[in-house]
Amino acid sequence: MLAGRSREMGLGPTDAVTLAEARSAAAAARKLLAQGKDPIEVREAERRAAAIEAAKAMTFKACAERCIEAQRAGWKNAKHAAQWGATLDAYAYPVIGDLPVQGVDTGLVLKIIEPIWTTKPETASRVRGRIESVLNWATAREYRAGDNPARWRGHLDKLLPARSKVRRVEHHAALPYDQIGAFMAELRAIEAVSAWALELTILTAARSGEVLGARWDEIDTAKAMWVVPAERMKAGREHRVPLSPAALTVLDRVRPLAHEGGFVFPGLRSGRPVSGMSMLMLLRRMGRPGLTAHGFRSSFRDWAAERTNFPSHAAEMALAHTVSDKVEAAYRRGDLFEKRRRLMEAWAEFCSRPAPHRSEIVPMQRA
């Protein structure tokens, strides 16, 4: 009995524990009970300590490899596992790879990330986060105990300057929207799969990865709609994209190149889409080395905010951004598809003509 609660405690199987040993163990348990301690909890704590001690032979590298393998199925992109392994191999393993995971402390973590914190802040942040994840995994599997020395909030943030203070965050270079008409005219003069892929990327304001991975069975030309499945979306939710007449024209041009159900923008290798570098190289050949395909999403967002009266949340939904306001998200359950259709048609029209006068505003038509 402990604190008025009855508990039962086994002392071991009769074929392995003698009567004398059982009496001795029972006496030790009563002694702990007299001290106000729960003998069952004490025994469990001793077992955990023994397991941790035995696990000291488990190195950080071995834990990292098992952690990566455990998470592999949940990652959308197969490249994540390779990126994790490469990052840890380059920066963490030389310092702590062969050390017991239990022995990794704050000093060792700082030894890894301090040399690159000011010169490669983005890389250093990823290294820190991946070390933290591996150590969390090791703790959950009882290969180590105690606080995580790689955690940022309330720990390393007291020892290192914030990443934002070290180097300004560099956003994707974007073309000013008043130059989009001239750019599109130049782009449409190029007969190449990469040019058509970039044009559709601009007209739909989609992420380049979503466009490059698009398949014909996602496209419904009769409804002028492209449905991107959840597994290919950053937010993990299915996204319906309205296709303007200009976007449908792009699809008509590229259709003869693809097989039914295959990639909309096929690459040189059979069964593979056009390379992710293709649009970047195209921009360089066009004499626009500072631009990125992703930056055209910013061009679209700036245009929608400054040149139209469409509601901002319609533009955010067109970009497939997650609604951050919980109240707004709770009340707005639809995807504003028809409003977005008119928005994307207005954007396509804007992309097809010279820069408008500053005073021109694109009105939001009523349903």
What's the chain's average pLDDT?
84
Q: What is the pLDDT of residue 187?
A: 94
Question: Per the CATH hierarchy, to which homologous superfamily does domain 177-351 belong?
Answer: Intergrase catalytic core (1.10.443.10)
Q: What is the pLDDT of residue 359?
A: 46
Q: What is the pLDDT of residue 327?
A: 40
pLDDT digits (tens, 9 = 90+) for 232-253: 887 778 899 999 999 999 999 9
pLDDT digits (tens, 9 = 90+) for 120-148: 888 899 999 999 999 999 999 888 889 99
- Averaged over 176-193, what is the pLDDT? 93
**Are the CB atoms for 320 and 234 separated by under 8 Å?**
yes
Q: Poorest-confidence range of 103-107, 191-195, 229-233, 355-359? A: 355-359
Does pLDDT of 348 surpass 80?
yes
238 φψ region: left (φ > 0), alpha (ψ -120 to 50), beta (else): beta
- Compute the distance between CA of residue 257 and CA of residue 280 in angstroms, rounded to an integer: 21
Does pLDDT of 61 surpass 90?
yes
Q: Poorest-confidence range of 8-22, 89-103, 196-210, 277-291? A: 8-22
Measured N-to-C along each axis, helices 193-204 and 245-254 cross at an angle, to the nearest 10 degrees, of 160
Residue for token pair 């496209």: 219
- Compute the distance between CA of residue 171 and CA of residue 122 in angstroms, rounded to an integer: 13
Does pLDDT of 170 surpass 90?
no
What's the predicted TM-score (pTM) here? 0.56
What strand order describes the sheet that includes 239-242? 219-220, 225-228, 239-242
pLDDT class of 54 with cuts at 50, 70, 90: low
pLDDT class of 324 with cuts at 50, 70, 90: low
pLDDT class of 351 with cuts at 50, 70, 90: very high
- Amino acid found at 139: T
- Averaged over 44-58, what is the pLDDT? 70
Please tell me which of 12-26, 37-51, 92-106, 166-180 the model is most confident about, judged by mean pLDDT: 92-106
**Are the CB atoms for 243 and 225 separated by under 8 Å?**
yes
Give the tokens for residue 214. Answer: 């698009």
Q: Poorest-confidence range of 64-68, 79-83, 284-288, 292-296? A: 79-83
Q: What is the pLDDT of residue 363?
A: 56
**Are the CB atoms for 304 and 315 separated by under 8 Å?**
yes
- Please provide the CATH number assigned to the domain covering 58-166: 1.10.150.130
Share of the chain above pLDDT 70, in %: 86
- Compute the distance between CA of residue 146 and CA of residue 355 in angstroms, rounded to an integer: 61
**SS3 labels along 112-173:** HHHHHHCCCHHHHHHHHHHHHHHHHHHHHCCCCCCCCCCCCCCCHHHCCCCHHHHCCCCCCC
Residue for token pair 């007299």: 34
- Amino acid found at 109: V
Q: Give residue 113's Cα distance to chain centre.
A: 22
- Compute the distance between CA of residue 268 and CA of residue 212 in angstroms, rounded to an integer: 13
pLDDT class of 43 with cuts at 50, 70, 90: confident
Q: What is the pLDDT of residue 236?
A: 78
pLDDT class of 355 with cuts at 50, 70, 90: low
Share of the chain above pLDDT 90, in %: 45
Q: What is the pLDDT of residue 334?
A: 63
- Averaged over 102-110, what is the pLDDT? 93
